[in-house]
Amino acid sequence: MYAEVIVDIAHTAVDRRFTYRIPEDLPVSVGHHVLVPFGQGNHTKEGFVVALKETSDYPEIKDIAKILERYPVLLPEQIALADWMKDSYHCLFVDALRLMIPAQMRGMRIKEKKVRTVALSPDVDPEAIRESLKNAPVQRSVFNLVAKIGAEASIPDINAFCPGSTPAVDALIRKGYLIEQTETVFRRPEKLRLHTPEYTLTHAQSEAANQIRSSMENGSGDVLLLHGVTGSGKTEVYLKAIADCLTLGKQAIVLVPEISLTPQTVGRFTDRFGDRIAVLHSRLSAGERFDEWRRIRLGLADIVIGARSAVFAPLERLGLIIIDEEHESSYQSESQPRYLAGEIAAKRIRTVNGALVLGSATPSLMSYTRALSGKYKLLELPERVAGRPLPTVEIVNMRDELLMGNNSIFSDKLAERLSECLAADQQAMLFINRRGYATFVSCRSCGYVLKCDNCDISMTYHKTESRTRCHYCGAVKPLPKECPNCKKQFIKQFGIGTEQVEEAVHRIFPSVKTLRMDTDTMRDKGSYEKLLSAFHRREAQVLIGTQMIAKGHDFPNVTLVGVVAADTTLNLPDYRAPERTFQLLTQVAGRAGRDNLPGRVVLQTYEPNHPIIRFAKDQDYKSFYHYEIMERKKLLYPPFSLFLRIVFADRDEQTAAHACLDYAKALESELRTVLSEEGKQDLLLLVAAEAPIARISGYTRYQILIKLLRTKRLKEALRTVSDFHDSHRSVCSETQLEINPQEMF
């Protein structure tokens, strides 16, 4: 027998199947992680067996040297998926395969954890032994302990009862009184069991759950879009769908944005399904990650909860994938292969004839368009559970506040609502949209803005550190005393950050306890969870934060949400700015009044009449959708077209500029040839210019932006671009092709 092996080297030149002979005594099957001799000198390299065959045409064939793991680490379905990814994302086969296994497994950097255990030897008489150990008290107590346990006892356990007894254990083994074994244990992340009652589903919830169930039963690979307002009980629908999935003998994956993957979220699932759950996310240690993955691979877990990359989890009987908050941009991978978790999920679900559920209060325009066209099944939860009302939203025009002489962070309205909320002993969340609204340092006299020396970006002022920091490269600079440009002393920081909001709260309500959550306060590993649970325990009345507090949290006592500046992201130079603003505002507003107390939201804005702000006020997704889809159509933005971006970066400015401009010219003429006469208008845009942030970390950046109309010729156009990119990627020190870039800076 012969095996086709993908060698674990990420290089285009060797990214193909190599044939090896399988030695008689080696039980190699598809998916095995193996060692093979490779290249000149036959050094062994790791590789993955992707196929077996009976014959081979090559005269000189080398043997597979070794099997690294007892079981195949890849499922045939995953190998087929990687093969598909190679073509769809134009990535290396091996890069796609690497996504399917824990990173530390490669190079054998992580091993199974074994513990030594001992048990009583069956051939001895305990009484006689006790007698013989009269003069060895430690050995005697160890022996008694093991006898009392009556089963295998691990060395750490024995040491916990009889400290420092390892030598005694060894002596007992030598004497043949105890027999030694090793046992593999799984390093398990700690899981909170959050007791949650099992509700009787509302009519809308059970309707949705039934549809999901029949899709699973039909096995036609359906995608279902669950559009449910905030607090409509989507999680309860997921739990029911998973229970049904298990009943059907299948297994499930639940994807949650990394930031919402808190012990509370996992706790709700663990409470329902117990030990059959495995979690995968970046906060696990390498050992825990490896062991959770192995529990999944070895069939010891049926439900996987995880962030984006958990979409690759090796479940053999996969029947259901749920993607919560499906509109989140974190489902797009930012490194090669730049996959979209939703696309991978849809592909897997088609292969296994299961069902894919996309859930959101604010579905992406793309998903909702597909639902309206019938490509996806639309499931709706239009109301909150238990007749709870959606929060009341009040809009405050901050221009009026200024005219009335109020130039503080809080409008009179927000201050009033906050005071009512605190008087009633309830909790409030204050949200500040940090993106595009950092605190920059500028001179009021000459307009000079303090910028990073390496990046073409303004420095952000950090009050607690009393200095400025570049958010792209991390460089720090002191706050200048005078303007470096005009030498006057009018230089100071502008803009609002979480720190300023916190100060403003303390100015009005000196005795109120606050918590602050942003990327600065969240540097340490466990700090995010600590802060959330402190707020849960009501150790503070006000939680102030950025995007991090907008997602998914369920705080029953929060009745007020204040949005300090609602429109800061509205006018960013990105066609998705309105969509993201609407999603964010709806999400934050959705944090208020989730339990029995009704919620209020105050939106402070400089553009009270902007349609997006009005739709957010009414939490009216459908009107938002119809408005925004027309805007996109007018300008032929996605979903009517597709954006591609190619970024060129080099330390030398001229190199980056020339590389970009020459590339653009050549690519354009190639695209025009391929698209020919009938596809002439498919190429809507191809511009080459300096990137919006022209320098990052000392690298000059140029970019090509391409916009292609979505027609049947799109696939061919994409292939042309990727092939062209492959043969021209080395024109400067960094080139990157991005399909559907999430950021355009």
DSSP 590-609: TTSS-SSS--EEEEEES-TT
Chain centroid to Cα 680, Å, comes to 38
Instruction: Report if residue 576 touches ligand ADP, rule: CB under 6 A.
Output: no
Please enumerate, as own/partner, the contacts of 406-411 that have beta carbons within 8 Å and a separation of 24 or more.
Answer: 408/504, 409/496, 409/500, 409/501, 409/504, 409/564, 410/504, 410/508, 410/562, 410/564, 411/602, 411/604
Pairing relation of β-strands 491-494 and 558-563? unpaired
Instruction: Report if residue 455 touches Zn ion, rule: CB under 5 A.
Output: yes
* Segment contacting ligand ADP by CB under 6 A, of 79-87, 223-231, 278-286, 533-541: 223-231
Distance between CA atoms of 37 and 31, rounded to whole angstroms? 18
Instruction: Report if residue 201 touches ligand ADP, rule: CB under 6 A.
Output: yes
Report which of 525, 527, 529, 534 is spatially closest to residue 192, judged by C-alpha positions.
529
Distance between CA atoms of 377 and 212, rounded to whole angstroms? 10
* CB closer to ligand ADP, 88 vs 205: 205
The answer to whether 224 and 326 are in contact (CB under 8 A) is no
* Segment contacting ligand ADP by CB under 6 A, of 200-208, 431-439, 480-488, 568-576: 200-208
Distance between CA atoms of 702 and 292, rounded to whole angstroms? 42
- The two tokens of residue 71 are 């079981």
Chain centroid to Cα 498, Å, comes to 24
Q: Given its phi and psi angles, is residue 176 left (phi above 0), alpha (psi -120 to 50 degrees) or beta?
A: left
| Shortest Å, Cβ 557 to ligand ADP | 12
* CB closer to ligand ADP, 235 vs 559: 235
3-state helix, strand, coil in the chain (%, to 5): 35, 25, 40
Query: Binds 593, which of ligand ADP, Zn ion, none (CB < 5 to 8 A, cut-off by type)?
Result: none
Q: What is the DSSP letter of 546?
A: S
Instruction: Report if residue 236 touches ligand ADP, rule: CB under 6 A.
Output: yes
C-beta atoms surrounding 630 within 10 Å: 9
| Shortest Å, Cβ 699 to Zn ion | 11
Instruction: Report if residue 593 touches ligand ADP, rule: CB under 6 A.
Output: no
Task: Work out which of 191, 234, 250, 707 binds ligand ADP, going by CB under 6 A.
Answer: 234
Encoded one letter per residue, x for contact with ligand ADP by CB under 6 A and - for no contact, window 530-569 reads ------------------------x---------------
Q: Which residues pair with 7 in a beta bridge?
A: 47
The answer to whether 444 and 686 are in contact (CB under 8 A) is no
Distance between CA atoms of 205 and 567, rounded to whole angstroms? 34
| Shortest Å, Cβ 470 to Zn ion | 3
Instruction: Report if residue 402 touches ligand ADP, rule: CB under 6 A.
Output: no
* SS3 at position 228: strand
* Segment contacting ligand ADP by CB under 6 A, of 230-238, 283-291, 520-528, 600-608: 230-238
Instruction: Report if residue 380 touches ligand ADP, rule: CB under 6 A.
Output: no
Instruction: Report if residue 385 touches ligand ADP, rule: CB under 6 A.
Output: yes
Query: Binds 154, which of ligand ADP, Zn ion, none (CB < 5 to 8 A, cut-off by type)?
Result: none
* Segment contacting Zn ion by CB under 5 A, of 33-41, 451-459, 714-722, 724-732: 451-459
Instruction: Report if residue 473 touches Zn ion, rule: CB under 5 A.
Output: yes
Task: Work out which of 155, 475, 508, 572 binds Zn ion, going by CB under 5 A.
Answer: 475
* CB closer to ligand ADP, 547 vs 703: 547
Instruction: Report if residue 362 touches ligand ADP, rule: CB under 6 A.
Output: no
Instruction: Report if residue 230 touches ligand ADP, rule: CB under 6 A.
Output: yes
* Segment contacting ligand ADP by CB under 6 A, of 66-74, 146-154, 228-236, 711-719: 228-236
Instruction: Report if residue 235 touches ligand ADP, rule: CB under 6 A.
Output: yes
Rounded (5°) CA angle 415-421-422: 90
* CB closer to ligand ADP, 156 vs 556: 556
Task: Work out which of 216, 296, 304, 470 binds Zn ion, going by CB under 5 A.
Answer: 470
Instruction: Report if residue 202 touches ligand ADP, rule: CB under 6 A.
Output: yes
* SS3 at position 131: helix
Instruction: Report if residue 472 touches Zn ion, rule: CB under 5 A.
Output: yes
Q: What is the CA radius of gyration of the chain?
A: 30
Instruction: Report if residue 452 touches Zn ion, rule: CB under 5 A.
Output: yes
Instruction: Report if residue 199 touches ligand ADP, rule: CB under 6 A.
Output: yes
Q: Which residue is nearest to Zn ion (CB)?
A: 470
Cα atoms found within 13 Å of the Cα of residue 670, Cβ hemisphere only: 18
Cα→Cα distances 502→222, 279, 527, 543, 645, Å: 47, 35, 18, 9, 39
Task: Work out which of 47, 72, 189, 231 binds ligand ADP, going by CB under 6 A.
Answer: 231
| Shortest Å, Cβ 647 to Zn ion | 17
Query: Binds 470, which of ligand ADP, Zn ion, none (CB < 5 to 8 A, cut-off by type)?
Result: Zn ion
* CB closer to Zn ion, 555 vs 699: 699
Q: How many residues does the chain have?
A: 745
Instruction: Report if residue 260 touches ligand ADP, rule: CB under 6 A.
Output: no
Instruction: Report if residue 619 touches ligand ADP, rule: CB under 6 A.
Output: no
Task: Work out which of 31, 47, 102, 233 binds ligand ADP, going by CB under 6 A.
Answer: 233
* CB closer to ligand ADP, 232 vs 362: 232
* Segment contacting ligand ADP by CB under 6 A, of 141-149, 234-242, 485-493, 661-669: 234-242
* SS3 at position 182: strand
In degrees rounded to 5, what are phi and psi of residue 112?
Answer: -65, 145
Tokens 């992201």 belong to residue:
569
Query: Binds 472, which of Zn ion, ligand ADP, none (CB < 5 to 8 A, cut-off by type)?
Result: Zn ion
Query: Binds 744, which of ligand ADP, Zn ion, none (CB < 5 to 8 A, cut-off by type)?
Result: none
Q: How many residues bind ligand ADP (CB under 6 A)?
A: 18
Report which of 215, 208, 258 is spatially closest to residue 237, judged by C-alpha positions.
208
Task: Work out which of 454, 655, 733, 742 binds Zn ion, going by CB under 5 A.
Answer: 454
Pairing relation of β-strands 33-38 and 600-605? unpaired
The answer to whether 532 and 553 are in contact (CB under 8 A) is yes
Task: Work out which of 386, 402, 666, 685 binds ligand ADP, going by CB under 6 A.
Answer: 386
> Among residue numbers 663 through 722, which ones bind ligand ADP (CB under 6 A)?
none
Residues with Cβ < 8 Å from 667, sequence gap 6 or more? Answer: 686, 704, 721, 724, 728
Instruction: Report if residue 257 touches ligand ADP, rule: CB under 6 A.
Output: no
Residues that bind Zn ion (CB under 5 A): 452, 454-455, 470, 472-473, 475
Residues that bind ligand ADP (CB under 6 A): 196, 199-202, 205, 228, 230-236, 385-386, 554, 594
